[in-house]
Amino acid sequence: MNQISFIHCHNLNFGYSIKVADYKSAKKLNIRREDLKTVLNNIIDSAIYEKADIILFSGIFADVKNADDSTKEYIIDRFKANDLKAMRIVIMPYDDAYLTDSLYSRLKEIENILVLETEKFSFESKNTTFYRLDESNMDTFSENLNEIRTGDSFNIVLSSIPVKSSIPTEQNPGFHADDMNALDVSSNKSDVLGHESDPGKPEHEQNVCPEPEQAGSYEYEDSVYNKDFLNEVDYIALGCGDKRVHDIFGDGKVYCPGTPEPLVLHQTEPHGVYSVTLTKKSDGTTRKDIAFIEVSKRKNFAVDIDIAKCFSQDAISEKIIDTVTPDEENGYIINLSGEINPFLEYDLKEIEKEIENYYFDLILEDKDVRRYDIDTIIAEPGIKGLFTKKMVDRINAALSREKKSVLTKALSFGIQALDDKEINI
């Protein structure tokens, strides 16, 4: 019974290019670039723990135009280390232009590293053939299907071609238990997973890995990944697209683990690699055991905060810090929400600057904030409408910002008391 195990990694992106403004300072950007060294070590540690035969790097392993010499030296030295001498490393450059760079030239000189420069490379010791699929050979690739070996051998494709059809299908083919173990975040395959929920933590701090949203949600039409092609291969390691997509067609062939590290703040999903074991069964079919392992250095969280009972800019800042524990290691997108007093003035940029040092990275948004319809309240019969009209007149007549702030708070307290029959200060 033939078996092979590997780690599938996508777009490690050493030296990745991003605007300094996206990280507010060159220092912060350099920290993020250094983080990728930690991520590489996490990937290697996972491969060693899983007793993997191979590490597959599909996609942009290094953005050679932006990776400095010290980064390239670090990569070379890390791959020459003793703990990797018994493991194969297969790298598919995203673009042939990368091959002319000194990094890839030196990587090719390391004995256990295979850089896929051509369409096919055979790894005989594990009876496995690796195929490179990119734009240069996309049109002719399917013509060579008759050359693909079958039987006890494994056929693994490293591809930089996106799935061309994104037609959602109502019927999710799901996971076939006889052919593949479904993604199981509580699997004991690796203690690196650690996806235990903690009822004592708020939702944004839970370390639970959700199932990918797009699993089994694509169809074959107009795709290079046609059924004839998929029938001939055991695994297609996608190296394109930032988000994780588990079993794209629902038949256990095409996978994208997404970037192992979030490269922009809006990437709030878990980031990691796939640990894959392929086993040829006696009937010639391939069993796949696949687990997702988080390897990222940092995480990003999206948090909603209701500021309906905040009556000043300082109160909003305090509410954020009270809700989201200061965290200098991770990033946060905080969206303010709730119905607020129309006279409440605040500046998101000022608040962001005031509290940004509490978090590694921070973006504030207020797309779900709504303001009271004061005219409707004033039109109400009774004491609430009369009170609101009187307070609005006083706010409009106030000459100082401080006076307006005090009166605005009083208006909010008054409306709250008349609505709730109590004041929540």
pLDDT tens per residue across span 51-71: 999 999 988 888 777 788 888
Say if residue 282 is exposed, middle or buried (CB neighbours under 10 Å; 0-12, 13-18, 19+): exposed
Q: What is the mean pLDDT of the chain?
A: 77
Judge whether 18 and 264 are in contact, CB under 8 Å: yes
Angle at 201 between CA 197 and CA 205, to 5 degrees: 80
252 backbone φψ class: left, alpha, beta (φ>0; ψ -120 to 50) = left
- List average pLDDT for each run of 10 residues in the chain, which is 425 residues long: 90 71 66 90 95 90 82 92 90 74 86 81 72 76 62 82 49 32 28 39 45 46 67 85 80 88 88 93 86 94 92 91 94 92 86 92 90 82 86 86 81 76 51
pLDDT at 348: 93
Q: Compute the distance between CA of residue 23 and CA of residue 262 in angstroms, rounded to an integer.
A: 13
Phi, psi of 338 (to 5 degrees): 110, 165
pLDDT tens profile 227-261: 777 777 889 998 877 788 888 877 788 888 989 99
Q: Where in the chain is the domain with CATH 3.60.21.10?
A: 3-294
| Token pair for 233 | 């291969």
Instruction: Report CA torsion sign: 148, 152, 153, 159.
Output: positive
Which CATH class name applies to 3-294?
A: alpha beta
Rounded to two decimals, the pTM is 0.78
Nearest to 223 by CA among 181, 183, 251, 258: 251
Judge whether 266 and 85 are in contact, CB under 8 Å: no
